Chain A
Amino acid sequence: NAGVTQTPKFQVLKTGQSMTLQCAQDMNHEYMSWYRQDPGMGLRLIHYSVGAGITDQGEVPNGYNVSRSTTEDFPLRLLSAAPSQTSVYFCASSYGAYSYEQYFGPGTRLTVT
């Protein structure tokens, strides 16, 4: 199994540009989440999904959209990038809810200039 994969690993955007961060898992996990990690702060939940077709907002959802059309894929869209979205983004999946082991992707380092 490849586990949780994320692309790209690095990305530089200009303010106002849009882009999609890709996340895929091959473990047939129902639960998937997107987090951002900023210096001096813990990981913060952006959006999550409990299965195909079901998504919900996390702690810091503004400026991001998600969709879950398949069990495997959970892309994160930045609608109009802002410097405040400069961060490292992690996708995670688990078999069940958060009382199950979490599997994290390798992360995407995004810089918005």
Chain B
Amino acid sequence: KNEVEQSPQNLTAQEGEFITINCSYSVGISALHWLQQHPGGGIVSLFMLSSGKKKHGRLIATINIQEKHSSLHITASHPRDSAVYICAVIEGPHPVMIGGSNYKLTFGKGTLLTVNP
């Protein structure tokens, strides 16, 4: 079973600060998701990546497959960024195997980000 570790568990920042949330995993993966869970409980997908870097607005996600590590960066943080950020990984080279043990997402426990005005 893939062990997915996120750090830090809790993060408090001032508005405008640059934020980094880290995710490391123990077994090789084919893809990684970053999700955002709002204070009201809803979960939205931010990124899905299998190599390199992706950018969407003020959010940047990077992944280093060899080092089994991904980071989520938030530039110019804002109080509306306050949420839980969740990393999830898909194991194996063939995630579409039906019924296979790698046919699932393994989730980290999340990082609670609070951005103060």
Chain A residues engaging chain B, CB cutoff 8 angstroms: 40-45, 48, 50, 54, 56, 58-59, 88, 90, 92, 96-104, 106-107, 109
Contacts and interface: CB of A to CB of B under 8 A. Distances in A.
Given A42-B109, A43-B86, A102-B35, A97 B96 contact: yes
B115 interface: no
How many chain B residues sit at the interface, stated as a range, is 20 to 34
B21 interface: no
Interface of B, secondary structure class, is: strand
22 contacts: A41-B109, A42-B86, A42-B109, A43-B86, A43-B105, A44-B107, A56-B98, A56-B99, A59-B104, A88-B41, A92-B43, A98-B33, A98-B90, A98-B103, A98-B105, A99-B30, A99-B31, A99-B48, A99-B90, A99-B95, A107-B42, A107-B43
